[in-house]
Amino acid sequence: MNATTHAIALHDIRKAFGATVAVDGASFAIDRGSVHALLGENGAGKSTVVKLLSGLMLPDSGKITIDGAEARLDSARAAHRHGIQTAFQEMTLARDLTVLENILLSHAPVNALGLVEWGKAKARVAAHFDALGLTDIDLRDEIRDLDLAVKQKIEIARALYRDPKILLLDEPTSSLSGRDVDWLGEIIARERDRGVTVVFISHRLHEVRAFCDHMTVLRNGQHIATARVSEVPDAEVIKMIVGRSIGQAFPPKPAEKRAHGNVVLSARDVTAGRARNITFDLHAGEILGIAGLQGMGQLSLFLSCFGMAEIEKGHIEVDGHPVVMTTPADAISAAIGISMMPEDRKTEALFLKLSGKHNASIPVISRFSRMGLIDGKKETEAVSEVFRRVEVDERALWTRAGAFSGGNQQKIALAKWLLAESRALLLYDPTRGIDVGTKHEIYQLMRSFAEAGGAVLFYSTEIPELVHLADRVLVLYQGAIVDQVEDDRLDEETIVQATLGGHAPSIAGQAA
């Protein structure tokens, strides 16, 4: 191979954090002008590679070459000088600044006196957003008010604004769905056509196939393979990622459709936020799927079942009795027993600065206290028991939750609700952005929770998950339920069609 065709090459790179070897002697190269997927389970070392290439940290040993010449990437500035721009997985936008300010941070046009020329800057950014098709984003909005998908698109737009030669995208699609993923696919193709080299991290193989020409698999920080995407079938890719073949990704559904238990949770003509006139019954032992393109009311629906959204009309019932929940604490309380894993789990489901143990025991801490004192031993035993069930490492008991990968954070969040002995779990896209191995474990946990009589309300952006896990699926379109898909209609095509409003044209035709 001719080294000068490589935009980037890693040569025997090693990076450890204390005892954790995040990147373990990895060597591989990325061709100039290619779209290169970086694959691996959570914790495989992908983000560490991205951070090394972005100048956020230096390797312990080994070297990085760019266009064939050794590069010392010891600061973000150094990476920028080499034309490297990154949309980070944890998203690095400043919450308290506007969209415009975030794009311009350190890249604002200044006049001869060193003052930012705001008028010019704003026009330039607006033109950039237009060219990207992001016309619905208001540059004056503060980041904190925006939802995850919008923030992700801004993170990407910012990297593009700085005109990269090499664009690093760390799991951008784990917070995007449907149309936004297509949007990103077009952006990537456009950048490639302009000669930009793109590194794309995703857990979704169909995206890798659609967007990328090459791929590299990492496992436990080690380089497993680099190949042309077209040369490796899915089963082989998965095997390289997990280091074994996983037979069936989804646990089998119960052989016979069982009669479900009592109704645990019902919505009666609920209108809240974007959700319109929603009525359903969720039974004990049932996994009830919710499908919908982004912004079709699913979030409002989940929040209103969890005391987090004001219900304008209608009501929620628990065990057939109307309940008023004005806070999540009401929903969690023993009498009701509803738990939720929300959209932005990094900021909402866990206290990142607290240990895994404290996170898990917070909702039920009274169970471990006597006369105002907490029985730490009892608490630890109970939490380690659920951590074993969700297969989270014991270290999580004492380590702050923020130090764990997305997949492990998600399992800690689940452990918390198992410990609380919730009767109904509201799972809002629970596997978003987590690796295949951990996904599989979460599917198993959902299934066993339902088999033990728990009720699950389950929204997913990944339609195959709904098909393989849910007993039936309610499809939302413009805030309303437009279809109930079950039995022999329960397949991807039917659901996708319904999410596009295809099943009920009369409803699809109405204005929002």
Report d(CA 44, CA 29) in Å as an integer. 18
Q: Which is nearer to Mg ion, 409 or 494 (CB)?
A: 409
Q: Which is nearer to ligand ADP, 90 or 163 (CB)?
A: 90
Q: Are 176 and 134 in contact (CB under 8 A)?
A: no
Residue 47 within binding range of Mg ion, rule CB under 5 A: yes
Phi, psi for 35 (deg, rounded to 5): -110, 115
Measured from the CB of residue 296, what is the shortest distance to ligand ADP in angstroms? 30
DSSP 8-state symbol, 260: P
499 binds, among Mg ion, ligand ADP, none (CB under 5 to 8 A by kind): none
Q: Which is nearer to ligand ADP, 339 or 410 (CB)?
A: 410
Report d(CA 212, CA 254) in Å as an integer. 38
Instruction: Tell which positions 77-136 bind Mg ion, by CB under 5 A.
Output: 89
Measured from the CB of residue 99, what is the shortest distance to ligand ADP in angstroms? 26
Q: Which is nearer to Mg ion, 169 or 476 (CB)?
A: 169
398 binds, among ligand ADP, Mg ion, none (CB under 5 to 8 A by kind): none
3-state secondary structure of 166: strand
Residue 398 within binding range of ligand ADP, rule CB under 6 A: no
For residue 189, the Cα-to-chain-centroid distance in whole angstroms is: 23
Q: Are 510 and 503 in contact (CB under 8 A)?
A: no
Q: Are 163 and 157 in contact (CB under 8 A)?
A: no
Instruction: Tell which positions 18-37 bind ligand ADP, by CB under 6 A.
Output: 20, 22
Residue 325 within binding range of ligand ADP, rule CB under 6 A: no
Out of 333, 405, 484, 497, which residue is the one contacting ligand ADP (CB under 6 A)?
405
Report d(CA 324, CA 136) in Å as an integer. 35
Report d(CA 43, CA 35) in Å as an integer. 22
At what angle are helices 376-389 and 406-419 packed, to 10 degrees? 120
337 binds, among ligand ADP, Mg ion, none (CB under 5 to 8 A by kind): none
Measured from the CB of residue 230, what is the shortest distance to ligand ADP in angstroms? 24
Binding-site size, Mg ion (CB under 5 A): 3
Q: Which is nearer to Mg ion, 89 or 422 (CB)?
A: 89
Window of 41-49, 105-113, 379-387, 500-508 that interacts with Mg ion by CB under 5 A: 41-49
Report d(CA 182, CA 192) in Å as an integer. 15
Determine whether 460 is exposed, middle or buried from the number of CB atoms within 10 Å of its CB (0-12, 13-18, 19+). Answer: buried
Instruction: Tell which positions 34-73 bind ligand ADP, by CB under 6 A.
Output: 40, 42-48
Question: Residue 467 corresponds to which tokens in the numbers above?
Answer: 């098909």
Measured from the CB of residue 70, what is the shortest distance to ligand ADP in angstroms? 23
Measured from the CB of residue 45, what is the shortest distance to ligand ADP in angstroms? 4
Binding-site size, ligand ADP (CB under 6 A): 13
Q: Which residue has tokens 């009401």?
A: 330
Write out the residues near ligand ADP by the rule CB under 6 A. Answer: 17, 20, 22, 40, 42-48, 403, 405
